[in-house]
Amino acid sequence: MKIPVLLDCDPGHDDVMAILLAAQHLDLKGLTTVSGNAPLAQTTYNTRYTVELAGITHIPIAAGASHPMVHTVDFTGDIHGESGLDGPVMHEPEVAIRSDHAVDFIHEVVDQTDGVHIIATGMLTNIALVLRRYPGIHSKIASICLMGGSLTHGNVTPVAEFNIWADPEAAHVVFTSGISIKMVGLNVTRQVSAIPNIRQDIRDIGSHTAVAVADMLDFFSAQLEKLYGLPGASMHDPLAVVPLIDDRILTFQPMHVVIELAGTHTYGMTVCDYRERKNEDGTPAGKPPNADVAVSVDVDRFWALFLDTLKHYP
């Protein structure tokens, strides 16, 4: 039996890779969209394009939040290009989205399905709004597996990662919800780069989905090489899906994580208690863990899974 999941995303090149993994290996009940790599209308358009590209138009799509809960962010970033998904030649998608808001759709699915896991690969606004609008629903969410934050450095600021920085107050709501959380941050996702020979292996699969993915990764890689000196595109978002598919790719440590909401230089930082400090009597010091934080990744195992997954698409 496949594990039931919802995927909340802001495609975004790496969000597309997350969708492809989730749709192949999990019982993907729906895709919900949020602003981030581009404005909401564009991330929703990119999601519609993706499901048509991969022949998975049976998966419902609902659009969600266009703005973070508190602060103001300009969602016309440079990393993913003007469309949020520059690289492939995109066709105009025809598939319709649902008429209800992502927040209500997420609530409906969680309420009606036992043991749904939420995967979040964008800012956490939709998830926080669900938790606020439907108090009590948290007990029905099996876990939240999110790409966000970092144990080490940030990307959008020296210490903050984009998805958390884009809506830190929403992240605070999620991290204080009591729901089981897996945090997959930059400290591991930046270790998995789509270097040229991997992109060629993907292109060589030859299907239209694989070629479009290779085109996406070529563009995304060029941006990350230019702007951050990385050897290729970081596979951030698909790594938030893999714990539900194969628990040998990422390893986690339980930690107490708080979201910095007040710091002048640290707004949006994930402050992770990594000290493993003990009291005199041997009991753990500090606050009890509220998240499992990814600390290492098996890069080869990830690529084997990803390449094999792509071979199943048309």
236 among known catalytic residues: yes
CB of 158 within 8 A of CB of 121? no
Candidates 147, 171, 213, 305; binder of ligand BDR (CB under 6 A) is: 147
Candidates 15, 215, 218, 273; binder of ligand BDR (CB under 6 A) is: 15
Query: For residue 311, how many other CB atoms are within 10 A of its CB?
Result: 12
Candidates 35, 50, 121, 126; binder of ligand BDR (CB under 6 A) is: 121
- Is residue 236 within the footprint of ligand BDR (CB under 6 A)? yes
Out of 236, 256, 265, 312, pick the active-site residue: 236
Candidates 8, 14, 260, 273; binder of ligand BDR (CB under 6 A) is: 14
Judged by beta carbon, residue 15 or residue 273, the one nearer Ca ion is 15
Query: Cα separation of 123 and 142, whole Å?
Result: 20
CA angle in degrees (0–180, nearest 5) for 179-309-123: 35
**DSSP, residue by residue, 124-157:** SHHHHHHHHHSTTGGGGEEEEEEE---SS--SSS
Please work out the total of residues on this chain that contact ligand BDR, with binding judged by CB under 6 A: 13
- Of 303, 275, 268, the C-alpha closest to 289 is 275
Q: Which residues contact 229 (CB under 8 A, 6 or more apart)?
A: none
Residue for token pair 């020296």: 158
Q: Is 109 exposed, middle or buried (0-12, 13-18, 19+ CB in 10 A)?
A: buried
Where residue 95 falls (left for φ over 0; alpha for ψ -120 to 50; beta otherwise) is: beta
Q: Please identify, among the stretches 12-20, 60-68, 213-221, 275-283, the one whose residues bind ligand BDR according to the rule CB under 6 A.
A: 12-20
Candidates 155, 193, 209, 270; binder of ligand BDR (CB under 6 A) is: 155
Amino acid making up residue 156: V
The contact set with Ca ion (CB under 5 A) reads 10, 12, 15, 121-122, 237
- Is residue 37 within the footprint of ligand BDR (CB under 6 A)? yes
Tokens coding 307: 């390449």
Judged by beta carbon, residue 162 or residue 219, the one nearer ligand BDR is 162
- Is residue 24 within the footprint of ligand BDR (CB under 6 A)? no
Smallest gap from residue 87 Cβ to ligand BDR (A):
14
Judged by beta carbon, residue 88 or residue 238, the one nearer Ca ion is 238
Candidates 8, 86, 161, 292; binder of ligand BDR (CB under 6 A) is: 161
Q: Please identify, among the stretches 10-18, 25-33, 97-105, 206-214, the one whose residues bind ligand BDR according to the rule CB under 6 A.
A: 10-18
Per CB under 6 A, residues contacting ligand BDR are 12, 14-15, 37, 79, 121, 147, 155, 161-163, 236-237
Q: Which residues are catalytic?
A: 236
